[in-house]
Chain A
Amino acid sequence: MSQIDVHGLAKHYRVHRKAAGFMGSVRSFFQRQYQNVKAVDDIGFQIEEGEVVGFLGPNGAGKTTTLKVLSGLLHPTAGRARILGFTPHERQSSFLKQITLVMGQKNQLNWDLPAMESFIVNQAIYDIPVDAFRQTLAELTELLDLDPLVDKQVRKLSLGERMKCELAAALLHRPRVLFLDEPTIGLDVVMQTRIRQFVAEYNRRYGATVILTSHYMADVTALCKRVLVIDHGKLIYDGDLRAMIARLAPYKVLKLILRSPVTCEALSPYGQVVDCNGLRAVIRVPRETATRAAAQLLGAVDVDDVTIEEPPVEAIVSELFDRGQVDDAPTQREGAGNAP
C-alpha cells in the first residue's frame, strides 16, 4: 500500500458573507448569511515513500486545505485519507510523531527567545532521546548553517534566517512525511535556492516524503518530479511535471527592454508578441528556440536588456483549468490567449 492514500477527499466550509459598508455590517451582525464553500472537492491520489510532490494551483484553490486535512488539522467532510497507515484527523501521537508541517507565513518559534530554546521544547514534546536530538541537531546545523543563528533571539533574525530555524525545529524528530506550505514565500532568491537545496538534500539523505505547495514555479521545478494541480477544489492534473510544462507551456517568455522604439510587426517573426509598447516588449517563443531567438533579437534590434523567463505558474494553471483536463488538451496551443 502507498504511504499516502487518498480517496474522494472533500472539505467544505461554511463561511459567512458580509456585504461591504456599514449597512452590510449591521445586517451581518443580526443575521448571518452563510455560504457553503467547497474548498476541496473529491480528490484522490497515492504517494509513495520518498517522493517529492508539488501541489500547484492559484490562490484559494484548495492546496493548503488539502495539506491541512492530510496533516490531521482539519476533519474531512467526506472521503478518506490514510497516511502511514493512520487516519490523519484522529491525530494519534504515533502518527503526529512521524509527520511535520512547515508554513512559510506562520512561525512556531518563541519570538522572544533564541531558537535553541524552542528546539529544546520540541525535544520534550516529541520525546526525542538526548543522543538522537544532539545528532539530528548537529546534522541540521551543518545542512542549514545554523551555527550563528540558534543563540540569537528569534525576533532579531532575518526572515530567511528565521525560516531556516523553523525548518530545523520542524525536523528535529526526523519525520517521515514533510508538509511544506509555501516554505520560500517572501524570501530573496539566494535564500530560496538555499531552502530548496536543503529540502532536496533532506529528501535524498533520509528518504522522507515531501509534499510541497508553492507559488514559485522555481520551487516546484527544482524539487518535484511530480505535481498535482488543484483548482477550485478539484484535482485537474496528476503526473510528471516536465510533461505538463511541455504540453501546456511549450514556450518561454522573452522580456525586452529596447533603446529605440520598435513596432510590434518587427518583433512578430520571433514569436507571439504578447505586449509591446515601443520600448518594452513581451514575446512568447517556443521552448527549444528561446535562446536562439534571444540571440537573434540582440543582433537585429537595439536591445538594452533581455530576459528569458519561465511562464508564471498561475498562467499555466489557469490555462490548464480553462481546458479542464490535460489529456483533452489539443497539442497546438498558439493563440490560446491568456497572457501571463
Chain B
Amino acid sequence: MRYLRLLSIFYRNSLYTEMEYRANFIANFFMSAFWLAFAILGLHVFFYHRDQIGAWGYYEAMLVVGFYSLFNGLIEALLQPNLSRVIEQIRMGTFDFVLIKPVNSQFMASLRHLSIWKLADVAMGLGICVYAMVRLGLVPSMGDLIAGAGFVLCGAVILYSIWLMMVTSAFWFVRIDNISELFTAIYETGRFPVSVYPSWMRGVLTFVVPIAFITTFPAAALLGRAKVPLLWVALLLAAGLFCGCVCFWRYAVKRYSSASS
C-alpha cells in the first residue's frame, strides 16, 4: 500500500517535471504518431505481394504491431528514463541517496520516474489492437482474453527483468549505453510475428532473448492460437527472470563501491 502511495507521488512529480518543459510534450506526441505510422507502413510493404507471412494475415500481424507499440511505450515511459538516471547516479555517486532511503532500493531505482507522454505509445498500441480486431471481425473468447492479458503481464515482467539486469551491469561497467542500444535493436524484431524469421532466429527470439513472449504470443492468444501450456511457460519464464534480476540487483548493491566525493 505504502509503495502504491509512493508511486503516485513519484509519478505526480514526474508529471510536474515534464510540464516544466512544454515543447517537449508536443514533439513527443508527433514522434509517437510518426513511429507508429512507420511500423504500419513497414507491415504494409511486407504484405504488398502476398496475403500471408508465416501463417499470419495482414490484420493478424497488425495485432503484433499493436503489442509492439504498447511495450515500446512501456520501455520509453518507464524503463528507459529510470535506466539513464540510475546510470547517471552510479557514475556521479548520487546513488547513495537511493541506498540511504528506507525503501526497497530496486523499487526506488527502477520505478522512480515516468515519462508520462510516452504512455501515448501504449494507448496507440491498444488502439491498433482494437482496430485490427474489428477489421478481423474477431471476438475473442473469455479464455483467450484472459490468456492474452496473462501474456501481456508476463511480457511486461520479462521486459522489466531483462532491462533491470542491463541496468545492474552498470555497477561494474558504469557506462552501458551501447548495451541498451543493442537491446533496443533486438527489440525491433518484435514488430513482426516471430514465425516470419528463419528458424534459428526464431529459437533465439523465443529462448535467448524472449522477444516472442512479449509481442507475438499475446497476439497469438487473442487469435486463439496460443494454448494454456505456453502460458505456463511464459509465467515460469517471467518468474524466473524476475527472481534472477532481484538476486543480481542485491548482489550488485552489496558490491557497490560508490563514486568518491
Contacts and interface: CB of A to CB of B under 8 A. Distances in A.
Contact of A96 (B16, B92, B96, B102): B102
Nearest to B5: A124
Given A117-B16, A121-B13, A127-B2, A106 B97 contact: yes
B103 A64 contact: no
Given A113-B13, A121-B13, A93 B103 contact: yes
Contacts of B106: none
30 contacts: A13-B257, A72-B100, A73-B99, A73-B256, A74-B256, A74-B257, A75-B254, A75-B255, A91-B99, A93-B102, A96-B100, A97-B102, A99-B100, A100-B100, A101-B100, A103-B261, A108-B94, A112-B17, A113-B13, A117-B13, A121-B9, A121-B10, A121-B13, A124-B2, A125-B6, A125-B101, A125-B102, A125-B103, A181-B261, A182-B261
Contact of A107 (B94, B254, B256, B260): B94
Given A73-B256, A107-B94, A121-B9, A96 B101 contact: yes
B258 interface: yes
Interface string A125-138: 11100000000000
Chain B's interface size range is 20 to 34
Contacts of A117: 13, 16
A73 B98 CA distance: 10
A303 B217 CA distance: 87
Given A73-B258, A103-B261, A126-B102, A120 B9 contact: yes
Interface string B15-42: 0110010000000000000000000000
A68 interface: yes
Contacts of A64: 260-261
A173 B258 CA distance: 24
User: 4 closest pairs, A vs B, by CB?
Assistant: A93-B102, A96-B102, A108-B97, A112-B17
Contacts of A125: 6, 101-103
Contacts of A126: 101-102
Contact of A106 (B17, B92, B257): B92
A71 interface: yes
Interface of B: 2, 5-6, 9-10, 13, 16-17, 20, 92-94, 96-97, 99-103, 254-258, 260-261
Interface of A: 13, 60, 64-65, 68, 71-75, 91, 93-97, 99-101, 103-108, 110, 112-113, 117, 120-121, 124-127, 153, 181-182
Contacts of A181: 261
A182 B261 CA distance: 9
Contacts, number: 77
Nearest to A14: B257
Contacts of A121: 9-10, 13
Contact of A124 (B6, B93, B97): B6
B179 to A, nearest CB: 16
A233 to B, nearest CB: 13
Contacts of B97: 101, 106, 108
Contacts of A103: 96, 261
A112 B20 contact: yes
Contacts of A99: 100
Contact of A101 (B2, B96, B255): B96
Contacts of B260: 60, 64-65
B259 to A, nearest CB: 9
B8 to A, nearest CB: 9
A146 B2 CA distance: 29
Contacts of B102: 93-97, 125-127
Tell me which of B2, B10, B254, B257 has the highest count of chain A C-beta atoms within 10 A of its own C-beta.
B257
A112 B254 CA distance: 31
A73 B96 contact: yes
Contacts of B255: 75
A99 B96 CA distance: 13
Given A96-B102, A108-B94, A113-B20, 8 more contacts: A73-B100, A73-B258, A99-B100, A103-B261, A106-B92, A113-B16, A117-B13, A120-B9
A270 to B, nearest CB: 40
Nearest to A91: B99
Nearest to A120: B9
A110 B17 contact: yes
Nearest to B254: A75
A126 B108 CA distance: 13
Nearest to B259: A106
B98 to A, nearest CB: 9
A181 to B, nearest CB: 6
Contacts of B258: 68, 73-74
Given A72-B100, A125-B102, A106 B93 contact: yes
B101 to A, nearest CB: 5
Tell me which of A65, A73, A97, A107 has the highest count of chain B C-beta atoms within 10 A of its own C-beta.
A73
Contacts of A107: 94
A13 B96 CA distance: 17
Nearest to B21: A112
Contacts of B96: 68, 73, 101, 103, 106
Contacts of B13: 110, 113, 117, 121
